[in-house]
Amino acid sequence: MPMTASSFSDTMLYGEHVRISVAASQGGRRYMEDRVHIECVRLPSGAVDYLYFAVYDGHGGSEASDYVRKHLLKNIQSQYGFDGSDEQMLDAIKKGFVETHLAMWKVVDDWPLTSSGYTSTAGTTASCTFIRRGKIFTGHVGDSAVILGEMNNDEVRASSLTVDHKPDNSLEVQRINSAGGMVMKKSGVTRVVWTRPIRGHVGPVRRST
């Protein structure tokens, strides 16, 4: 799971003058499975410590995206080094993702069964961004991209801060193969098929994405 930190200009006042907009489209689904999470955390002095923005693109139900929205930030905050150096904070983000993933496995059996009576197949992407100390810290799993827009005269220049985890990406194919899976085309769509259990995980891999 990639984590990155990108710097703002040292002269920029960050965190105090921010406008935030959120838009979501349910499409043709009967219910919304996606979630967003926005937090502004301040120091005792009243100054902004950090801003947190996250998108969770759920599928197969909203249980996974609901769970991650409730627990991911808390699990990142609780890691040693979250208030430390840039490198320590990036490590805390990674460990928070892993802790959330493993904890979610323990509650999947409590989620509603599928229409066929099988264990829930709900899953979610997770892409989060912290703005702290004049820098942007990101962590993500899945294909919900984090895009940075920068003003250049009267135009906005967009650049991606993340690389989507998709099975048509060569590095992702290599990771999937080494983890016991394979990539196949089904009805013209690239899919992941697991051929053996992943060490350290319990239950079908399809439960959690």
pTM of the model: 0.82
Specify whether 154 is located in the same domain as 178. Answer: no
From the list 88, 90, 56, the residue with the least C-alpha distance to 72 is 56
Give pLDDT, residue 2.
58
Specify whether 159 is located in the same domain as 178. Answer: no
* Gap between the Cα atoms of 195 and 97, Å rounded: 25
Residue 121 domain boundaries: 3-163
Q: pLDDT of 153-167, one tens digit each?
A: 889 999 999 999 888
> Based on C-alpha coordinates, what's the Rg of the chain?
19
Place of tokens 């919304």: 32
All residue ranges of the chain with pLDDT < 50 are 9-12, 198-209
Strand partners, 4: 138
Specify whether 153 is located in the same domain as 105. Answer: yes
Specify whether 132 is located in the same domain as 187. Answer: no
Strand partners, 192: 183
Give pLDDT, residue 122.
93
Specify whether 115 is located in the same domain as 177. Answer: no
* Gap between the Cα atoms of 46 and 50, Å rounded: 12
From the list 209, 207, 56, the residue with the least C-alpha distance to 121 is 207
Specify whether 176 is located in the same domain as 102. Answer: no
* Gap between the Cα atoms of 147 and 157, Å rounded: 10
Helix ranges, 106-198 (H):
170-178
Give pLDDT, residue 4.
59
Specify whether 89 is located in the same domain as 183. Answer: no
* Gap between the Cα atoms of 189 and 187, Å rounded: 6
Specify whether 19 is located in the same domain as 32. Answer: yes
Specify whether 106 is located in the same domain as 193. Answer: no
Phi then psi dihedrals of residue 178, to 5 deg: -70, -20
Which residues, including other chains, have CB under 8 Å from residue 156's CB and lie 6 or more apart?
149, 150
